[in-house]
Amino acid sequence: MAFQQFYSGFLSANKHKQHYACHSHYFWPDCTREATLEYWDDSAKYVDEKWGFFFQTLVPELQQRISDILNTGAPQQIVFAPNTHELLYRIMSCFNTSAPYKVVSTDSEFHSFQRQASRLQEQGTIELITVPTKPYNSFSSRFKAAIAEHNPELVFFSQVFFNSGYVVNDVADIVNSVTNESTLVVVDGYHGFMAKPTDLSEIAHRAFYLSGSYKYAQAGEGACFAHVPVGCELRPTYTGWFAEFGELDKPRAVGGQERIQYSLDGMRFAGATMDFTALYRLRAVLRMFEKNSMSVETINDYVMNMQQVFLDELAKYDHPLLNEGNLAVSDEACRGHFLTFELDDADVTKDLALKLKAHHILTDYRGNRLRFGFGLYHTPDYVDLSPLLKLV
Ligand SMILES: Cc1ncc(COP(=O)(O)O)c(C=O)c1O
């Protein structure tokens, strides 16, 4: 199938550019434009009734679709927020200890976690145990050993690391290794959702899974979600009025006062009013995928093939920096939807990224790592690496 047909708006606005940053900001399919207008129309039509309309139509449909994609078997456990940071902080607000609590994580978590955790550590609220992701082939066993050794209150790790593209293929194994039932386990699935086929059925009762829409779900910013473990009875302190939607906990009297009630399902992790435009866009994209039989498997096959096309093309140029020898992850079975080239230092990397940009090859970089992402709007014809001849 010619997938480019779905991206005509963004493609025509970016003619003569090669956009390899879809792992950051994916081009939006055309259907998201109509979805934005549909949100406007429905807001005009329903005005004060619109929240009821959204919660009866949009939200359950999205919960069902996301739950099906991740095979959680529990659509009611999906809760939405504008970004994953809000959900992370809400999860962390469940801890009610005066002593610092232990968090086991990695040295390759996205800034939303990294910055927040560092600040909480600085304040003495948490004790952060950081496991290096390298060497990748021993990551899982080292991470499991750290969990066993420290018996933390919280375990946080990514399904696919943002700074290398390395895929943790044994997420369930790591989650199942956590024997202390009161330890919270959170998987950052932002680089996994809609990119790598993901089956959470084995851990849906045990782990939180966070993701959102501006990468591989292609719906832009503002539509993030958490799968909340089935049966979860936690009571986040950072709570908003949406957390009271649906069936509620039975109120319990505490010291003559009623305890704050929470929704019985994933909504107990909801916040408050948010702009649902992004959810309209997300629904439109997921419907479009379904209509055109674009499963995550199909998408993954296409993208991994495009990576190979790119690498074959690259091999022709024998470039001193951009070559397979500098790939962070050479085994494609453990690689997400972007290629990461590890260069000598941050200056060399920035310099190369800027030179590529001057030749309309758009990438992004983190320190000494240059990332090229691949998506459905790429074709073999799209790839033109001839500018590299001028960049040796
Ligand atoms: C691994 C990962 N998690 C989360 C995010 C987004 O975080 P937030 O929704 O808090 O802005 C990103 C964005 O690049 C990411 O790469």
Q: Look at 11-25, 119-133, 235-249 and tell me which has the smallest mean pLDDT.
A: 235-249
pLDDT band at 205 (very low <50, low <70, confident <90, very high): very high
| Ligand 1 atom at minimum distance from 158 CA | 1
**From ligand 1's centre to the CA of 48, what distance in Å?**
33
Exposure of 326 in the CB half-sphere (CA atoms within 13 A): 20
The CA distances from residue 4 to 215, 217, 293, in Å, are 17, 16, 15
Distance linking the first and last C-alpha atoms of the chain? 36
250, pLDDT greater than 90: no
Q: Is 86 near ligand 1, meaning CB less than 6 Å away? A: no
Pocket test for ligand 1, best of 85, 110, 191 (most atoms within 8 A of CB): 110
CA 226 – CA 268 distance, rounded (Å): 11
Strand partners, 127: 102
pLDDT band at 249 (very low <50, low <70, confident <90, very high): confident
Q: Is 83 near ligand 1, meaning CB less than 6 Å away? A: yes
φ and ψ at 293, to 5 degrees?
A: 55, 40
Domains in the chain, start-ordered, CATH in brackets? Answer: 3-29+294-391 (3.90.1150.10), 32-289 (3.40.640.10)
Which ranges constitute the DSSP H helices of the chain? 8-13, 31-46, 50-53, 59-70, 84-92, 111-122, 139-150, 171-176, 277-291, 296-315, 346-358
Q: What is the mean pLDDT of residues 98-106?
A: 96
71, pLDDT greater than 90: yes
Say which residues have a Cβ less than 8 Å from residue 37's Cβ, sequence separation at least 6: none
CA 263 – CA 119 distance, rounded (Å): 30
Q: What is the mean pLDDT of residues 66-82?
A: 98
Q: What is the pLDDT of residues 136-153, one digit of tens each?
A: 999 999 999 999 999 999
Average pLDDT taken over every residue of the chain = 96
φ and ψ at 85, to 5 degrees?
A: -60, -40
**From ligand 1's centre to the CA of 349, what distance in Å?**
22
Q: What is the pLDDT of residues 278-323, one digit of tens each?
A: 999 999 999 999 999 999 999 999 999 999 999 999 999 999 999 9
pLDDT band at 247 (very low <50, low <70, confident <90, very high): confident
How far from chain centre, in Å, is Cα 325?
Answer: 28
Residue appearing with tokens 């090859």: 361
CA 120 – CA 7 distance, rounded (Å): 42
pLDDT band at 258 (very low <50, low <70, confident <90, very high): confident
**Residue 106: which of 44, 9, 171 has the closest Cα?**
171
Token readout for 368 is 């000494």
CA 93 – CA 236 distance, rounded (Å): 5
Q: Is 112 near ligand 1, meaning CB less than 6 Å away? A: yes
pLDDT band at 392 (very low <50, low <70, confident <90, very high): low
**From ligand 1's centre to the CA of 84, what distance in Å?**
7
